[in-house]
Amino acid sequence: MKKIIQSATLLALVVGSVMSNADEGAIKQSINKSMPSVKIDSLKPSVVNGLYEMTVGANVFYVSDDGKYLLQGRLVDIAAHKDLTEEKLNITRKSALEKMGTANMIVYKPKIAKYTVSIFTDIDCGYCRKLHSELDQYLAQGITIQYLFFPRAGKDSDSYNKAVSVWCAGDRNAALTAAKKDQNVPSKTCDNPVDEHMQLAADFDVKGTPMIISENGNVYPGYLPANQLVAALEAERTPK
């Protein structure tokens, strides 16, 4: 009897694996046929039977196991009160920011670094300017600030051109501070990551600025004073 049970269990595992591979193949084939420009980064069964979790860049989608239906929305564990999609998005945001790299950001470092945040900023945004005017307070709290540009007026706008000029300046940090104070920054062009920043902002569904993202990929939309930001970042490190 024991051998029969073991054989049945092994057969179920093998069949399940074959079906899973077949489902993944059907989904990829369907996506490639309908949306050939979409690059699937990962595809795996979700916690819901018949539904697969698909990541594309920093985005998370859900696809039926026959590849016919695609959903974009929040998957919530009702009993556990958990937003499972947000947990996954935290991971994809973190990965996307690491891929972007600090060489493609404007970074302000404290003497003793305790925390790191990445901030999508618009040079002409009022609350972005307020946050930057308090930069010393964030640095005093040990927060490393990594800036990415998100000129909300769009490509080739005045804010966009200012961002490019700041990036192309000899001292980007000083140029950004000057621009935030509405001081003149000489107009320049060069190879720059502003378009990549804007695409990443679109992937992250950034609606406004500033948008703060922690090391864990958590989002804090809008301006937060240094003491409140530290409290939020410290809470992320507190075991739940």
CA distance to 6, 31, 49, 61, 181, per residue, from 95 (Å): 40, 23, 27, 17, 32
Pseudo-torsion of CA 202, 203, 209, 212, nearest 10°?
A: -170
Catalytic residue among 23, 93, 124, 152: 152
Contact 143, 213 (CB under 8 A): no
For the chain, what is the radius of gyration of the CA atoms? 22
**φ/ψ (deg, to 5) at 210:** -70, 150
Mean pLDDT, to the nearest integer, of 30-58? 86
Catalytic residue among 65, 93, 124, 125: 125
Give the C-alpha separation, 33 to 199, whole Å.
24
Q: Is the pLDDT of residue 200 over 50?
A: yes
Catalytic residue among 122, 136, 190, 237: 122
Give the C-alpha separation, 36 to 7, whole Å.
42
Whole-model pTM?
A: 0.80
Q: Is the pLDDT of residue 5 over 50?
A: no
Helix and strand totals (H; E) in the chain: 8, 11
The 10s digit of each residue's pLDDT in 78-118 is 998 888 888 889 999 999 999 999 999 999 999 999 999 99
Examine the residue annotation and report whether 74 is marked as an active-site residue of this protein: no
Examine the residue annotation and report whether 237 is marked as an active-site residue of this protein: no
Domains by residue range for the chain, with CATH: 2-74 (3.10.450.70), 101-237 (3.40.30.10)
Q: Is the pLDDT of residue 10 over 50?
A: no
Examine the residue annotation and report whether 125 is marked as an active-site residue of this protein: yes
Q: How high is the pLDDT of residue 197?
A: 98
* Alpha-helix residue ranges (DSSP H) falling in 78-225: 84-100, 126-133, 135-140, 158-168, 172-180, 194-203
Confidence label for 240 from pLDDT (cuts 50, 70 and 90): low
Q: Is the pLDDT of residue 17 over 70?
A: no
Contact 86, 74 (CB under 8 A): yes
Examine the residue annotation and report whether 190 is marked as an active-site residue of this protein: no
Strands, E assignment, 190-239: 211-214, 219-221
Catalytic residue among 128, 171, 182, 195: 128
The 10s digit of each residue's pLDDT in 122-170 is 999 999 999 999 999 999 999 999 999 999 999 999 999 999 999 999 9
